[in-house]
Amino acid sequence: MPGTPSGALVWGFLVLSPLTLALVPLALRRVSPRGAKTPGVALVVCTAWLGITYALGASGVLNFDSFPPKPLFLFVATFATTVGIGLSRLGARVAFGIPLALLVGFQAFRIPVELLLHRAATDGVMPVQMSYLGYNFDVVSGLSALPMAWLIAKGRAPRWLVLAWNVLGLALLLTIVSIAILSMPTPMRVFSNEPANTWVTHAPFVWLPMVLVPMALLGHVLVFRRSRSEPAGPQSPRGDGER
């Protein structure tokens, strides 16, 4: 990996990624019947996922010596699985059991993510176009999440506004994912400046595409599921059970 990541960057990922993923079993605990095994199973699965992906990044097997590159297979499979979870009955339980304001406000975690990406760019381990110094404007999603959540909690956010915010956030997320792919050292590379985007295949930075981006994607899927079933007027701030 080019450059030398600072301690703040490394520890930022070591702290933020597990804390963000821990919200999955916490959410399931809130929406599951008392005594249900689902939250405990989710905790085990999330812990195992952190360990497996960290080990893959630390082992060096995620390299770009083949085409299509091995990391892309893993990333695409992870994103597809994330969408599948969001569209499943389990996803419905969370989408309709958690207050919409919390589902939206959750996306504020993208603010510290963007700060870490900025640090990665200044450390020289990540290409600048993946930060807000370049073409990454995903920080807008994080900065707008809390005001939008407040409007929803106060019943002042009509459905069209929530959907528009969610579409914008998803578009910004997909944009930076595309930039990241086009910055990798493959025949598809468009951004030729150095360093190439290889840092996301190393531990603990592999948690960016394997934990943090999927969590943002899952959040958008859940908001879409919830919003499409809400009345056209101001949004209810409370969860209303599975549909």
Query: Where do the domains of the chain lie?
Result: 7-227
> What is the predicted pLDDT for the residue at 241?
45
So what's the pLDDT on residue 3?
A: 84
Nearest to 104 by CA among 68, 156, 57, 66: 156
What radius of gyration do the chain's Cα atoms show? 18
Closest to 28 measured CA to CA, from 43, 16, 18: 43
Give me the pLDDT at residue 243, please: 44
Region of residue 34 (left: phi > 0; alpha: psi -120 to 50; beta: else): beta
**CB 146, CB 108: distance < 8 Å:** yes
CA distance 203 to 53: 8
- Between the alpha carbon of residue 3 and those of residues 17, 55, 87, 126, 233, the distances in Å are 22, 21, 39, 8, 51
pLDDT of res. 2: 80
**pLDDT for position 227:** 86
pLDDT, residue 65, reads: 84
**Helix spans in the chain (H):** 7-21, 23-31, 38-59, 70-87, 89-97, 100-105, 110-123, 139-153, 159-181, 207, 213-227
CB 186 within 8 A of CB 64: yes
pLDDT reported for residue 235: 55
According to the model, what pLDDT value does residue 237 have? 53
pTM to 2 decimal places: 0.93
Render each residue's pLDDT in the chain as its tens digit; 243 residues: 788 999 999 999 999 999 999 999 999 999 999 889 999 999 999 999 999 999 999 999 998 887 778 899 999 999 999 999 999 999 999 999 999 999 999 999 999 999 999 999 999 999 999 999 999 999 999 999 999 999 999 999 999 999 999 999 999 999 999 999 999 999 999 999 999 999 999 999 999 999 999 999 999 999 999 987 765 445 555 555 444
Measuring CA to CA, which residue among 110, 108, 130, 105 is closest to residue 119?
130
